[in-house]
Structure 1
Amino acid sequence: MIRDDLYDIGLRQRRDMFGPEGAEAQVEHTTDLNDKIQDFVTRYCFGDIWQRGGLPLSDRSKVTLAMLIAQGKSHELRIHTRGALANGVSVLELREVIVHSMLYCGIPAAVEGLRALEEVLAEKGLPSSIDDEAEKAGVPA
């Protein structure tokens, strides 16, 4: 892969969102089979689109999660749930994206979103209770 500013910015964004396992571990273990995808994701997805003004990273994460729920992409949903937490999206906001998706994507899609959130919270040792945060925001828990 060609290293340039766009690539370096993308790799740094991937590291910030997904840690070294989602950055260096992905791109350093590419093969002839997947190198073009890894390069595209690093350079254009995270080095370009995720860097644009107009939406903060936390909003980009929420939009991404909503689209992944709509498409039923459970693997990517878990990856981007981790990234959303790293981008400052609260557990309450994640729950609300999932609840809102129920209206437009259906109950099974929302359940998969909730399952992903619960798994990521458990994996990270984070509490799943949102009662305090919901009360402060005036949202029914």
Structure 2
Amino acid sequence: MNITEKAEKELKKLFGENYQSELRNTDPEMMEIYDNFAFDEVLEYGNLTEEERMLSILAALIAAQTQGEYKLMLKAALNAGVTAVKIKEVVYQSTAYVGMAKSYDFLKITNEIFREEGIELPLKGQSTTDQETRFDKGLNVQKSIFGDVIDKMHQGAPENQKHIQNYLSANCFGDYYTRNGLDLKEREMITFAMLAALGGCESQIKGHVRGNQSVGNGKETLLSVLTQLLPYIGYPRTLNALSCVNEIIPEEG
């Protein structure tokens, strides 16, 4: 196998000095292509920190429902110094975007790996709201990201759909976005990663491209996220998300 020096170094850093994938024995050509692409070539592009890269990948793997790869990359994230709190917050927030039916298994996997690594559970609580404050605090966070359009969405919703807008404010934003552990830039970044990996969410991707802009994640950051996700989610979903980014933030000139 012709694994580049940079890819081999990155793999050992993330997975340990004795890392050796069994697929290198059964599918050496495939792993040569993949390892060189995912752990060398795509790392040449972008402005993400290693922590941001890991958080984005974990978020996308949950959305894509890839349990085996999630286990590997969760261990890699811990080896890279990502805190248990930040990892757990990615899993928690994923529930708002993929549903508990999908996040449940990843919560269990995360707890399993944490116990193996000697991380005591439960982690310190990160909630900043209660049943009395979640709607107002969530609405404030929504408006801080998306502006006055949120008021218009609440006011313009048909009577039989107003509860959905209320849930968005109280649950999606009030229960999750207001939590400590991740800041708003990180939360918008991982939301973008999850939506890109889900596929079929182009309308929501466009909204969160605007949201990312609002909190300070510019086009270069979004392109960097898509670049790092490409080996894990493939070209169709990457290109669909890229089209959304270009529509909302056209190239100058």
Give the TM interval when normalised to the shorter protein. 0.7 to 0.9
3-state SS of paired residue (1:47): helix
Q: Which residue of 2 aligns with 1:81?
A: 209
Structure 2 CA distance, aligned partners of 1:87 and 1:77? 15
2:147 match: 19
Match of 2:38 in 1: none
Task: Describe the superposition over 1:66-92 as per-residue Cα deviations: whole angstroms up to 9, x where unpaired.
Answer: 110011111100001100111111221
Shift of 1:108: 0.9
Q: Which residue of 2 is the match for residue 106 of structure 1?
A: 234
The runs of 5 or more residues in structure 2 that have no matched partner are: 1-131
> CA, structure 1 residues 97+128, in 2 after alignment: closer, same or farther (shift >3 Å)?
farther
Number of corresponding residues? 121
| Whole-angstrom distance in 2 between the partners of 1:102 and 1:33 | 40
Q: 1: CA distance between counterparts of 2:136 and 2:148?
A: 14
Quick one: which amino acid aligns to residue 58 of structure 1?
A: K
* 1:91–1:128 CA contact under 8 A, matched in 2: no
Instruction: Look up the SS of the partner of 1:48 in the other structure.
Output: helix
Which residue, 57, 63, 72 being the options, matches 2:184?
57
- Structure 1 Cα separation of the partners of residues 164 and 232 of structure 2: 30
In the alignment, the residues of structure 2 paired with residue 26 and residue 60 of structure 1 have an alpha-carbon distance, to the nearest angstrom, of 22
C-alpha contact (below 8 Å) 1:10/1:46 kept by paired residues: yes
Query: Does residue 31 of structure 1 match 2:31?
Result: no
Provide structure 1 residue ranges, at least 5 long, that are not aligned to the other structure: 130-141
Q: After TM superposition, which residue ranges in structure 1, 4 or more long, deviate above 3 angstroms?
A: none
Larger RCO, structure (CA 8 Å, separation 6 or more): 2
Q: What is the CA distance between 1:6 and its match in structure 2?
A: 2.1
Partner of 1:133: none
SS of 1:34's equivalent? helix
Deviations 1:102-134 (A, max 9, x none): 111110111111111111113xxxx559xxxxx
Partners of 1:64 and 1:106 lie apart in 2 by 18
**C-alpha displacement of 1:98:** 1.1
**Offset at 1:5?**
3.1
- Separation of aligned partners in 1, 2:252 and 2:217: 14
Task: Supply the distance in 1 between the matched residues of 2:187 and 2:160 (Cα, whole angstroms).
Answer: 29
Q: How far does residue 11 in structure 1 lie from its aligned partner after superposition?
A: 1.7
Q: Distance in 1 between matches of 2:161 and 2:198?
A: 22
Identity of aligned residues (%): 27
Normalising to structure 1: TM-score of the pair? 0.78
Tell me the equivalent position of 1:8: 136
Offset, 1:56: 1.0
2:193 corresponds in structure 1 to: 66
The range that moved more, 12-21 or 61-70, is 12-21
Alpha-carbon RMSD: 1.7
